[in-house]
Amino acid sequence: MCLHAFEFSESDLGPMMSGKLVVLTCGGGNGAHCLAGLAAVRPDIESRVLTMYADEAERWAANLDSGFIITVHNDDGSIKSIKTKPSLVTKDPKKAVPGVDYIFIVVPAFAHAMYFEAIAPYIDDNTVIVGLPGQAGFEFECVNLLGDKAKRCTMVTFESLPWACRLIEFGKNVEILGFKDTLGASLLKGKECNLTKPIIETTQYILGEKPKVRHVQNYIAITLMAKSIVHPPIMYGKWSQWDGKPLSEKPLFYQGLDERQAELLSGVSDECVATAKAIEKKVPGLDMSDVIHVFDWYLNYYSDQITDKSNLMMAMKTNKAYDGLVHPMKEIEPGKYVPDFTYRYMAEDVPEGIVPMKGIAELAGVSTPYLDEVIAWCQGKLNKEFLVGNKLTGKDLKDTRAPQKYGYNKLEDLFTGSFEVTPQ
């Protein structure tokens, strides 16, 4: 892992900007600590934080004078400590938002709407709004809640967090266990947005040298690439035949994969790839080649950590990055465990993950038997109705980020209107 991004010389300092770049991080979790801290290290960036959950802002602000530490674990086993301090931590959007150039939303998808509504009255023209990660339907929700202001902004969606990280002590110490080598990001630019700074390059500057930000060709491609496809099929495959009896230990999640779970995941991924290919045929000039099968994604992103690359099941079972990771479980009595269907693997990755993917497939005219099977079981466990038969016409579609919720009822609706789908 290279840390040159944190060793500054005059040539490092803002070659693309004059004056300070003002960056706002929304959130108070491990990822938000990392981003706010890394941005604050840059001498020509003013780093602010808006966190609206409970008393997080008060707790973080109480420690602000002394700053906090980012502990970085290098690939060679060495450890580097970075002292950093945002200029402002608040729960008041009126204080946090005016004058901001970049807004990073670093919270779970279910909390995105709360932050969009909070920032909407104060957001300036030509602001860049970044979902880190965005999750499926990020742009639909942003456009819906920001209204006309979205036309004067640019949305950036990342496929995942840039780091493996954990919070050691709130407001005082966050740990980066590793950086991804590359990370895909898409742009959706409002046609009234007059940004002059190069967005991908400036975003790279904020994050630092790693990961390398790779421009994904359009926002629908990155939606179909979202890793929220992974958890629901595995949950369904593992627990659909469960007899209801508590288990004596928590089963391995990825490394406990069996052939049925791998088949379900592969089938869902096949349907996303088929959707991308169908869209490419129907929308002239659109490049959907970034949408690849989940097995190929694992081979690309975890090549050095997978020992058996013969098939998807073995690649996941032998991925060292997944060592020891278990299913989300609830302990109902000492040593007795049952699955937790309220965990984000279901509660977030279905309504803000595979349901929007199903919605896009529906608009593209692609049959999705695997997605339908997984969604049908998951919605039962969530006590929701998204899917009726094989159509997204359920009464709880309003609780998802499917395009149909926002009035996108034809494929062309996703690629026309007030936004540039493939800005450079």
- Whether 361 and 277 have beta carbons less than 8 Å apart is answered as no
Buried b (16+ CB within 10 A) or exposed e, 375-394: bbbbbebbebebbeebebeb
C-alpha closest to that of 253 among 317, 202, 190: 317
- Whether residue 112 lies in the annotated active site: no
- Whether 123 and 96 have beta carbons less than 8 Å apart is answered as no
What is the SS3 string spanning 217-256?
CCHHHHHHHCHHHCHHHHHHHHHCCCCCCCECCCCECCCC
- Planar angle of CA 12, 185, 315, nearest 5 degrees: 110
C-alpha closest to that of 344 among 56, 110, 170: 110
> Residue 215 in 3-state DSSP?
strand
Residues 6 or more apart whose Cβ sits within 8 Å of residue 18:
none
Which H helix or E strand runs over 49?
strand 45-50
User: What tokens does 115 get?
Assistant: 């932050």
User: What tokens does 226 get?
Assistant: 């979202």
What is the pairing mode between strands 45-50 and 88-90? parallel
> Residue 60 in 3-state DSSP?
helix
Q: At what angle do helices 231-239 and 369-381 cross, to 10 degrees?
A: 70
Residues 6 or more apart whose Cβ sits within 8 Å of residue 401:
109, 135, 136, 137, 138, 140, 141, 351, 352, 355, 356
Catalytic member of 33, 112, 231, 327: 231
- Whether 39 and 49 have beta carbons less than 8 Å apart is answered as no
DSSP output for 121-188: GGPPTT-EEEETT--TTHHHHHHHHHGGGGGGSEEEEESS-SEEEEEEETTTEEEEEEE-SEEEEEEE
> Residue 23 in 3-state DSSP?
strand
Residues 6 or more apart whose Cβ sits within 8 Å of residue 305:
319, 320, 321
Catalytic site residues? 231
